[in-house]
Chains A and B, each alone.
Chain A
């Protein structure tokens, strides 16, 4: 199973933070104007779109409301917005915070650490990426977190001892949240230092490990919810064990394996064209898998030609050749198709294709040049 992102919403994330006794602003999650009218809050409030996509603040998904009428119009405006194509599921209405300072605190999986890294910056907020990189404390396994080790790293960076000690205790809780809920990222940005010195999580970005769905009911239901929201093409590919990412180009690419599919995308770019998709059929190289792949690419208006490039390792390319010959005979689309089957039993594959009047290109590069020329020729 493959998913682009298993980011949960801020409201869901904050529920996990509160359960671990990390302070969050008092809040209401609202789904309808009726709920907005029935909501009793002290103004001003922050009104925040609930979406599983980043960059929400910069896109205008967070507004301030000073009265009931401003709250209602902010609700309407936000619910009509789309964030990276996604409609908000609700808005979160929170008491407006008196901010002394904004911090950044996160725990995230890091490949070079072989586990969790704790990240801290004394200057957090929306422009965190523009500043110097945050301090990092490589923890690895959650049970290896040591307050004294983190404190020693924090001392030169965070001079306020009260803030420092509170950050240390929240960092431990974030690691425990990540462990208990199988998260790859738990990020608070900003972690607000309020007037009086208390630390409040003003936002929450939590990414769940989708591979843990078999033993985490909450992850399984988050995946099901995101699948419901996904575009139909993506959903049908996931159900058929194909991996699809739509791109902006014109060459429909059917390939095998993540690395080789990216290599073929780069080769198309090198030949002066652009790939229309990342489509990896190695999870299901059968008549059903290839059938779905052709069906999607034949229907997509931006796809002007199709390249099938498979390198047979364990896969027998003569079987793929037979499948392709049968599929192409039944196909009604007139988009040009170029084939390249190399590796295990490719001599047989070449013969099968030749007998069906199809050429098997010897290399990826030759096949890419052929399809790029076909598409350019059809255009001129």
Chain B
């Protein structure tokens, strides 16, 4: 098992004729992911890398029975494209784009919840279940199959962090990028719930940062008696308050958003803390070791 995305994934790419869309077809195919359809309004009937193109998501879904969508369109039209995909009945959608207005992110999230769909993003590399399928643009060589569920707010950090985990023999069930924006589809609490329910996931590794409050969802989870063991790396220990560090949500506006406050809350809840990237693999390994030990 894995979360949301499995070997039976049939992927549809919205915006397949764009630069990113076309690159993604080949990239997904190389990661053994079935790309069954593309969507580009007015381009129905064409093919891209052997993949049939449709003019609407509904037409593509009807013909190909796609069950996951990767939406590569600019922020200006992203809300319309994501709503079309959700309303066509696609149960899993990744929207990796950044620069999306917060109001549009709120509408996307609400529509996904209304339809029982899962939205990954915005401002995220997407979702990968190593060895099974990929719904995003993360570099495949960083990942390996295994028992750890990874949640990340940052794309770049998740690549290197997973590369280090994989090199240390700590493979992943799934790696989900929840994104660097303040409003997102699947959030930390929901991603944790998905990994909790996945029988193959033995431990959770959380890659967080300063700003916002997502990390407290992990602290709350870790206090549960039935929680799976978890480890966390938070970056931005040296970032000053009041300055945005790249991500829209990576800014310390209050004490609760600071590195110290979050790390203290996680530590108190029993999460294994990696102080920096160098300590991540050993923190992940010790969380996994706890999972392997029978409960006393």
Contacts and interface: CB of A to CB of B under 8 A. Distances in A.
B278 A311 contact: no
A344 interface: yes
B212 interface: yes
Interface in B117-159: 125, 137-139, 141-142, 152-159
Given A111-B249, A259-B152, A365 B101 contact: no
B189 interface: yes
B48 interface: no
Nearest to B259: A266
A1 B139 CA distance: 24
Given A259-B158, A259-B209, A265-B238, A211 B75 contact: yes
B267 interface: no
A245 B242 CA distance: 11
B182 A109 contact: yes
Interface stretch (B5-13, B82-90, B103-111, B286-294): B103-111
A2 B139 contact: no
A214 B239 CA distance: 30
Contacts of B141: 343-344
Given A111-B214, A112-B187, A262-B235, A179 B157 contact: no
Given A114-B109, A115-B183, A260-B160, A314 B139 contact: yes
B54 interface: no
A245 B182 CA distance: 20
Nearest to A259: B154
A312 B214 contact: no
A184 B246 contact: no
Contact of B182 (A184, A215, A274): A184
A261 B236 CA distance: 9
A141 B243 contact: no
A60 interface: no
Interface stretch (A25-33, A96-104, A275-283): A275-283
A115 B108 CA distance: 11
Given A259-B235, A266-B276, A270-B275, A114 B187 contact: yes
A260 B75 CA distance: 24
Nearest to A214: B76
Contacts of A267: 276-278
Interface in A245-270: 245, 247, 256-263, 265-270
A1 B99 contact: yes
A125 interface: no
B65 interface: no
A249 B75 CA distance: 36
Interface size class of B (residues with CB under 8 A): 35 or more
B237 A260 contact: no
B157 A260 contact: yes
B76 A263 contact: no
A212 B182 contact: no
A262 B250 contact: yes
Nearest to A116: B106
B76 A5 contact: no
B156 A266 contact: no
Contact of B102 (A109, A258, A263): A109
A110 interface: yes
A129 interface: yes
B156 A256 contact: yes
B184 interface: yes
Nearest to B159: A313
Contacts of B163: 311, 343
Given A111-B182, A365-B278, 8 more contacts: A111-B184, A141-B110, A184-B182, A258-B209, A259-B157, A259-B209, A259-B247, A263-B277
14 contacts: A5-B244, A109-B102, A110-B182, A115-B183, A141-B110, A211-B101, A247-B240, A258-B180, A258-B246, A259-B152, A260-B160, A265-B235, A265-B236, A269-B237
Interface of B: 75-76, 99-103, 106-107, 109-110, 125, 137-139, 141-142, 152-160, 163, 180, 182-184, 187, 189, 207, 209-210, 212-214, 216-217, 233, 235-240, 242-250, 254, 275-278
Interface of A: 1-5, 54, 109-112, 114-116, 129, 140-141, 179, 182, 184, 209, 211-212, 214-215, 243, 245, 247, 256-263, 265-270, 274-275, 278, 280, 282, 311-314, 342-344, 364-365
Closest 4 CB pairs of A and B: A257-B156, A259-B154, A258-B246, A259-B157
